[in-house]
Amino acid sequence: MAGKIIFLDIDMTLVGRKGTIPEFAVSAVRAARAAGNRVYACTGRCKAEMYQPIWEMGLDGMIGGNGAYVEDDGQAIYDRNLDPAVEREQVDWLVEKGIGFYLETNPGLYCNDLFFPKLAEHVMGACTPATLEQGHKGFPHMIETDELYRDDVKKISFLMEDFVDLDELARHYEGRSTTRTWGVRSDTHEFDEFGQVGITKAAAVAKLLEHLGETREDTIAFGDSTVDIDMFELCGYSVAMGNASEDCKAAADYVTDDVDEDGLARAFEKLGLVG
C-alpha cells in the first residue's frame, strides 16, 4: 500500500474547543487522502458520536470506544462489548450510589435521569435551567432512559464523585472490567469510566494493520491525552498536539501547535502528508 496510515484522535486533536473541526484540518485530511495516504479516526467516541462532519472529510474508517470497535471502508472488522452481566452489576451500583452516568454504544448514548442535573452541578458549577441547557448542547445525541441493561455497551462513563474510590473499584473488577478517568479537555478529569479488559487503541491499531496486511513502520498517530500514549508506542511516528497533556507530549516524537491554531494541518505539512 502506498503512502502512510494515519490515526487521528478526535476530541482536542481533530475537533477543537468549540466542538468544530478547524477548516485547515479538514483541508489537510482531504489532501492527505488525495496524496495516497489512508486516514482513520482513533477515538474514545463510539460510532453514535461520529457526527456527519467528521465522516464528510472522507475518512477510510474508524477505531471507536478506545479500541472496542474497528471499521475499515464501511466494514466492521472487530466489535466487542462489555460482558452483559458486568454491565448490569455496574449499572446497579451506579444507580444505588446516585451517580450520573451514560452508556456508550454504537447505536447511541444512553443516560440515566441524574446525568444532566449532575453534569450541571459538577462540571458547570450549578444546576440551573441555563446550565442544564448547556449540558444538553454538549451532548446533543444523549438519550435519557430507564432501560439501562444493554448487551451492546462498549464502556460506561460516569461523573466523578468524591466518595468513589477508583482503586477499590479496580480491585473489585480485576479481570472483568477496567477503570480510568477522563475529561472534556486534554488535561482535565471530570469523568470516571468502566471499560473492557484488553481493549486499547494500540491493540485496535494492530488488528486493523493485520486486516490491511500492513506493518507499523508507515503509521503515524496523532493525539492529546494519556489514553493515546499506547497508540504512540505502537505506531512508527507520533505527534502530540500543543494542547496535549504533559505525559502525552513526552511520549510523542513531535509536538505540533494547539488544536485551535491549526496544529493538525501544520503537522501534516511538516510530515509531507499533503502532497
- Taking only the tens of pLDDT, the chain with its 275 residues reads 469 999 999 999 999 988 899 999 999 999 999 999 999 999 999 999 998 899 999 999 999 999 999 999 999 999 999 999 999 999 999 999 999 999 999 999 999 999 999 998 877 777 788 888 888 888 888 999 999 999 999 999 999 999 999 999 999 999 999 999 987 665 667 899 999 999 999 999 999 999 999 999 999 999 999 999 999 999 999 999 999 999 999 999 999 999 999 999 999 999 999 97
Phi, psi values for residue 28, rounded to 5°: -65, -40
Domain co-membership, 89 together with 56: no
- Residue 187 is placed in which grid cell? 488535561
Phi, psi values for residue 167, rounded to 5°: -65, -40
Confidence (pLDDT) at 185 = 63
Q: Largest alpha-carbon pair distance within the chain?
A: 56
The residues pairing with 46 across neighbouring beta strands, listed in sequence order, are: none
Q: Sign (positive/negative) of CA torsion 159, 160, 165, 166?
A: positive
Q: Structural domain tally of the chain?
A: 2
User: E strand or H helix at 135, and its extent?
Assistant: helix 129-138
Q: Which of 195, 211, 246 is the C-terminal boundary of a domain? A: 195
The residues pairing with 63 across neighbouring beta strands, listed in sequence order, are: 42, 70
Confidence (pLDDT) at 256 = 98
136 in a structural domain: yes
Domain co-membership, 149 together with 181: yes
Confidence (pLDDT) at 2 = 66
Q: What is the CATH number of the domain that holds 37?
A: 3.40.50.1000
275 in a structural domain: no
Between CA 275 and CA 231 the distance in angstroms is 25
Q: Which of 147, 167, 195 is the C-terminal boundary of a domain? A: 195
What's the predicted TM-score (pTM) here?
Answer: 0.93
